[in-house]
Structure 1
Amino acid sequence: MLANDWNLDIVVASMRRFINKALWLVAHKIPWKPILIWGPWVLALLTLTFYGIENWRGARAWEKAQKDAKDSGISLNQRDYLPEITAETIPLHSLAGFDSRRIHSVRNLISNSRSGHGPLKIKLSKDSRETRFYQRWQGQRRDFRSLLALPPKTEIEAARELEIILGAELKLLNELKHQLEGVPLVLPPPSGALYHHNSLWANVTQAAELTNDDIALAIAQEDPNRAIENILFLLKLANRECFPCYSSLSTSRTIWLLLEGSIWELVQSQLLTSEQVGTLLKVLENPPTQEQFKRALWGEAVATIHNLETFKIHRNRINEIYSSRGFDGMSLHSYTGVPAFDAISEECEKLRHRAFPSGWFDLDKARLIQFQLNADSAWKNSEYDPRMHLSEPECLERLFFEPAQQPINFAATFFLKQKSLAAKIKVARIGLKLERHRIDHGNYPKALTELLGEDLNDPFSDGILQYRLKNDGTPHLWSVGRNQIDEEGLPGNSDVEGDIVWMLTPIHGLTKSAWRAGLIKNRIN
């Protein structure tokens, strides 16, 4: 025990001698006077050198990016992307009073019934987007009787009762149609950041969903003329003039999917004449093009660049600019709901970004433009996958500001979705021609080659679209889809899985669980 204490005393004494020597060296051997005199100047010089180099790098990269964009015929001026408003167009600022927070579609009624705030006549429903897709592959249109607490005996009675529930909304929809009769729909240009436009996009989507519901109500009441009138109005909403950006692209895709689904319901009802089928074919003549898609991404990029330039000048506008997160209108307090925490977060962001070199804003703008230019050239290749393109060297460089990342993420997300949408519309067009053949000749063609003058190439393969008649004589048409695997016309529940299918009667043996898992292997009957 005494030996251990003695060893410990030796160690403590050695440590004391070492610390004392170190302190003496620090106090007497380090030249503190010149350090205190010249140190701040050296530090200031290094800081200024760092900021100067970074600002020079940014200015040089931004100048080169602007030149590359000009050489490629790309405008970086926001005004060049604004819709043209003439005397013949009506710029609607509120869609004739449409407010997505108060105007209800059937989907809203179902959602409200789940939370206990829906009308008493609407029962708690398990209806969902997935259920709708599954019902389609079972050849089932929407049956509004399942929504009502006291379901009537016929679909017509259910549709009339639902019309009463949606009376105010349908009246407003009719007023909007009347207001837009004979004139194009032009959405107002954004004043400031695009995310202020978010509520307007929500109103457009809500108007489209309500129109889609009105189409289903018309089909249930066996009124194809009213259904086609609503489909033409959906087309007007899809083709409205607006500032091209991510939100406009997303809204257009939603409306086109509603259009395709409504046309399928109308064909499945077998209420159409040959002339009415021709009208629907004209509706699908001009689907969204790759050029429109690219213009929307450039519009988003140009708006982002404008925001970064504004942020560069007014760095205290964190809540308005930095936290826009892709112009969706969300700010820091949207994530936490704790005002005190949000105030601290905003102040921290302001301090952090005020210290950034101005050149970093220019570097982000330049990298964003470079990505867009590279993507433009790469999109000409049908095998292009933007998710792989994101790993290329210019995208590995860190983007300093979150808004600059948004257009790149949008490109990766929407390129393949737009390609799937184009394939769905193409398949629907051929499905309409098959229906016209049935109306004119009494049966469906035995082969697609009987449809003269139609492009039958599959957008996702080197071959043509697959087609055969089912045992009941109805058509079964499909594209192999994004996964480029021919699954014998088995539809998937997303854009990634399964084939893109057009059929009017059920698949024998396809249960919902098997369809969701993609496990069914039996042949189509």
Structure 2
Amino acid sequence: MDRNVPAPMLANDWNLAIVVASMRRFINKALWLVVHKIPWKPILIWGPWVIVLLALAFYGIENWRGAEAWRKAQLQAKSQGIKTSYSDFFPEPLSSREAGFSNLPGLGGQSLSNRLDLQRSGTPELNVDRRAHRNIERWKASPEDIRLWLDPSIRPSNKKDAALELERIMKNEFSLLTKTREATTGSTLRFLPASHQFSFSDKTSNVAGRSKLAALARDDALISLALQDSERLSKDILFLFQLAQAEVYPTQMNDLITSAIWGDLEEVVWSAIKERALSHEGLLLILNHLPESFGLDSFNDNVQGQCAWNSEAYDVFKEDRDRLVEQMKWSTSISTGYSQLDEITEKAQNFGYRIMPKGWLDQAKAENLRQALVLAKVADGDFASYIRLASQNEETTKYSLNKILAGIYPQLLRRRTEHFARMELLKIGLHLEIFHLKNGKYPLRFQELGVEFEDDPFANREMNYRLKSDGSPIVWSVGANRIDENGLSAKSKRDGDIVWMLTPTAVPTESKSKNELEQN
């Protein structure tokens, strides 16, 4: 024995050798059993067939489950009177009083969108940051300054010169607007897909065309206001009404665009009233064009139309997995912080999309329809219940594409609620101006107008109203934060009241107003 090596170390080496020898014997025995005892010939002959049969059984069961889920969801929708087919949401054929926008020469959806982009993206004289000045700072009660649309190097000192310069720069755009207005005067506009056959591109082109036309009409209206051209201003306002009330395939994107157009219209009318550019007849004309209500009925139509559109999309995905992979890549992003891992994960995910059973897409269709059925039960005008149920849908949604959409619904509904409040304030503002023109002053109370208005959707009570010390009115909704801040207007989307007023007030609410509320 080597006396220089401690005895415990020798014992450890001996134990390790026993373990290694045991493992070798076990592995050798296992290999012998695999080679000599397993019936490889029948496994090699029948194994692939068993795997194929198991795969077929899996796909067959999942496809059956998906078809059954979709059948039950359709029966439930039918019992509630909900339309589920893409073609169900197309209106009747065009009448003589309607203009199919895609049928107008040179004004078809995508070509129109491209033409409207030409000047806005390629004109150096226009201020690239001018869109940042679109939002009115209502607390200042100041209409948008169109001089800011121009590059500082050529910016004139007054709005009239700015309007003339903008007319020169955007001559082709305004020419197209005039041509469009003349071709559609007195007609119901339709921004619909080219056919009843489902297409991804039709939706995008029609949305883009209507949105850009509305932005152009709004810009032209503010330029007309600066030029004191009341006839042109009236034409722009009426055209904005046409665009807002155009027939579109009901989807959430179109609902968003419609709300934005009504917002543009409200901004133009408020600016015109502020500048005293509307006569009594002009005020009545605008009032008569306003819908009676901006409730949830049309929002529900858009939810159901979106559901039918999604169902068609899922059917396309069942046959075209490349389209599904493209859609998921657009809708979701993978980021682990390691590019190689991200790439491997994305490839694995895309492979999963390509081999998933069609039944899983049918189940996603059924889940999407059930979401719409839940929301359809909410009574018109019950914004609080709608937002609560939409949020619950988002939490319980299983399938990725539905989860994305479910997450959008509450946001869109909050915007629709704000839109409802703004349009009701517009209606009140028009009645106040008509009263002022008749009586030379504004009423002390709502009741003096003799008109019944909708309640504030954020508070479930009538809008707030008072006269300022200068005799001008201020009307407000408590806004998305549901805190009555006495007419202090918003400095952010979730902060402050939604206000209609014609003269400046205190600074917009944020930390200062919150501190004042806490002190009081």
2:5 is matched with which residue?
2
Q: CA deviation at 1:436?
A: 1.1
Q: Distance in 1 between matches of 2:503 and 2:137?
A: 10
| Structure 2: gaps (5+ residues) | 336-340
Q: Is this contact kept in 1: 2:331–2:404, CA < 8 A?
A: no
1:279 is matched with which residue?
285
Cα offsets for 1:17-44 (capped at 9, x unmatched): 2321331342345652279367656555
Q: Distance in 1 between matches of 2:493 and 2:201?
A: 27
Q: Distance in 2 between matches of 1:188 and 1:135?
A: 35
Q: Identify the range of structure 1 (434-443 vs 29-38) with the bigger mean alpha-carbon deviation.
A: 29-38
Q: CA deviation at 1:275?
A: 1.4
2:65 is matched with which residue?
57
Q: Distance in 1 between matches of 2:137 and 2:398?
A: 46
Q: Is this contact kept in 1: 2:383–2:417, CA < 8 A?
A: no
Q: Distance in 2 between matches of 1:174 and 1:342?
A: 51
Match of 1:159, SS?
A: helix
2:174 is matched with which residue?
170
Q: State percent identity of aligned pairs.
A: 29
Q: 1:78 aligns with which of 71, 77, 86?
A: 86
2:311 is matched with which residue?
305
Q: Is this contact kept in 1: 2:145–2:159, CA < 8 A?
A: yes
Q: Distance in 1 between matches of 2:280 and 2:291?
A: 17
1:14 is matched with which residue?
18
Q: Distance in 2 between matches of 1:397 and 1:250?
A: 22
Aligned CA distance change for structure 1 residues 50 and 518 (closer, same or farther; 3 Å): farther
1:412 is matched with which residue?
410
Q: Is this contact kept in 2: 1:218–1:226, CA < 8 A?
A: yes
Q: Identify the range of structure 1 (234-243 vs 51-60) with the bigger mean alpha-carbon deviation.
A: 51-60
Q: Is this contact kept in 1: 2:300–2:375, CA < 8 A?
A: no
Q: 1:463 aligns with which of 461, 464, 480?
A: 461
- Residue 27 of structure 2 is aligned to residue 23 of structure 1: yes
Q: Identify the range of structure 1 (427-436 vs 195-204) with the bigger mean alpha-carbon deviation.
A: 195-204
1:58-207 → structure 2 map (5 Å cutoff): 58-88=66-96, 89-93=98-102, 96-97=106-107, 99-103=112-116, 118-120=123-125, 122=126, 127-129=130-132, 131-148=133-150, 149-190=153-194, 191-207=197-213
Aligned CA distance change for structure 1 residues 488 and 25 (closer, same or farther; 3 Å): farther
Q: 1:36 aligns with which of 40, 43, 46?
A: 43
1:222-261 → structure 2 map (5 Å cutoff): 222-261=228-267
Aligned CA distance change for structure 1 residues 276 and 379 (closer, same or farther; 3 Å): same
Q: Is this contact kept in 2: 1:61–1:363, CA < 8 A?
A: yes
1:447 is matched with which residue?
445
1:387-426 → structure 2 map (5 Å cutoff): 389-391=390-392, 396=396, 398-399=398-399, 402-426=400-424
Cα offsets for 1:181-236 (capped at 9, x unmatched): 23221123255333443133112111111100111111112223321211110111
Cα offsets for 1:353-375 (capped at 9, x unmatched): 34222221221111111111111
Amino acid at match of 2:137: Q
Q: Is this contact kept in 2: 1:138–1:506, CA < 8 A?
A: yes
Q: Identify the range of structure 1 (234-243 vs 490-499) with the bigger mean alpha-carbon deviation.
A: 490-499
Amino acid at match of 2:43: L
Q: CA deviation at 1:462?
A: 3.5
Aligned CA distance change for structure 1 residues 7 and 346 (closer, same or farther; 3 Å): closer
Match of 1:502, SS?
A: strand
Q: Distance in 2 between matches of 1:94 and 1:437?
A: 43
Q: Is this contact kept in 2: 1:185–1:240, CA < 8 A?
A: yes
Q: Distance in 2 between matches of 1:24 and 1:343?
A: 40
Aligned CA distance change for structure 1 residues 212 and 75 (closer, same or farther; 3 Å): same
2:338 is matched with which residue?
none
Q: Distance in 2 between matches of 1:196 and 1:349?
A: 28
1:338 is matched with which residue?
none
Amino acid at match of 2:263: L
Q: CA deviation at 1:124?
A: 6.3
Match of 1:2, SS?
A: coil
Aligned CA distance change for structure 1 residues 220 and 43 (closer, same or farther; 3 Å): same
Q: Distance in 2 between matches of 1:520 and 1:167?
A: 50
Match of 1:133, SS?
A: coil
Aligned CA distance change for structure 1 residues 177 and 124 (closer, same or farther; 3 Å): closer
Q: CA deviation at 1:45?
A: 5.1
Q: Distance in 2 between matches of 1:449 and 1:166?
A: 46
Q: Is this contact kept in 2: 1:492–1:516, CA < 8 A?
A: no
TM-score by length of 1: 0.83
Q: CA deviation at 1:490?
A: 1.3
Q: Is this contact kept in 1: 2:135–2:144, CA < 8 A?
A: no
Aligned CA distance change for structure 1 residues 521 and 293 (closer, same or farther; 3 Å): same
Q: Distance in 2 between matches of 1:12 and 1:94?
A: 87
Higher relative helix content: 2
Q: Is this contact kept in 2: 1:325–1:406, CA < 8 A?
A: no
Aligned CA distance change for structure 1 residues 478 and 216 (closer, same or farther; 3 Å): same
Q: Distance in 1 between matches of 2:405 and 2:511?
A: 32
RMSD: 3.4
Q: Identify the range of structure 1 (248-257 vs 34-43) with the bigger mean alpha-carbon deviation.
A: 34-43
Q: Identify the range of structure 1 (149-158 vs 257-266) with the bigger mean alpha-carbon deviation.
A: 149-158
Aligned CA distance change for structure 1 residues 283 and 147 (closer, same or farther; 3 Å): same
1:496 is matched with which residue?
494
Q: Identify the range of structure 1 (151-160 vs 469-478) with the bigger mean alpha-carbon deviation.
A: 151-160
Aligned CA distance change for structure 1 residues 205 and 164 (closer, same or farther; 3 Å): same
2:387 is matched with which residue?
386
Q: Distance in 1 between matches of 2:215 and 2:401?
A: 30
Q: Identify the range of structure 1 (490-499 vs 266-275) with the bigger mean alpha-carbon deviation.
A: 490-499
| Structure 1: gaps (5+ residues) | 336-340
Aligned CA distance change for structure 1 residues 293 and 248 (closer, same or farther; 3 Å): same
Q: CA deviation at 1:173?
A: 0.5
Match of 2:113, SS?
A: coil
Q: Distance in 2 between matches of 1:84 and 1:100?
A: 26
Q: Is this contact kept in 2: 1:486–1:499, CA < 8 A?
A: yes
Match of 2:499, SS?
A: strand
Cα offsets for 1:318-371 (capped at 9, x unmatched): 23x453369xxx6999x9xxxxx9999997666423422222122111111111
Aligned CA distance change for structure 1 residues 500 and 85 (closer, same or farther; 3 Å): same
Q: Is this contact kept in 2: 1:195–1:324, CA < 8 A?
A: no
